[in-house]
Amino acid sequence: MSTPGIGLGRDDRPSRALYTPREAKFLLSISHAQLYRLIGRGALIALKIGRSTYIPTTSIEAFLASLPAAVVRSK
């Protein structure tokens, strides 16, 4: 699936202030259900503008910053 117009800006930060849920789940590589679970527990913020729902870039960045670093075990 190709989603034009979303992605990272020149300094590796998302280049827009708001993303639709479809774009946000594409950026985060998560399912529709996982996105709404994250919104439900407050890990991501969802805003309504009219009937449309948007996820702020700042919410996506804060969520990513809150994730623990992966631990890689050497053999």
Report how far residue 21's alpha carbon sits from residue 27's, in angstroms, rounded to the nearest whole number: 10
Eight-class DSSP state of 14: B
Measured CA to CA, the distance from residue 3 to residue 7 in angstroms comes to: 9
pLDDT band at 1 (very low <50, low <70, confident <90, very high): very low
Q: Over the stretch 26-47, which tens digit does the pLDDT of each residue have?
A: 999 999 999 999 999 999 999 9
- Give me the residue spans of the domains in the chain: 18-62
Is the pLDDT reported for residue 51 higher than 50?
yes
Average predicted confidence (pLDDT) for the chain: 87
Q: Is the pLDDT of residue 72 over 80?
A: yes
Residue 70 in this model has a pLDDT that exceeds 60: yes
d(CA 24, CA 45): 11
* Percent above pLDDT 90 for the chain: 73
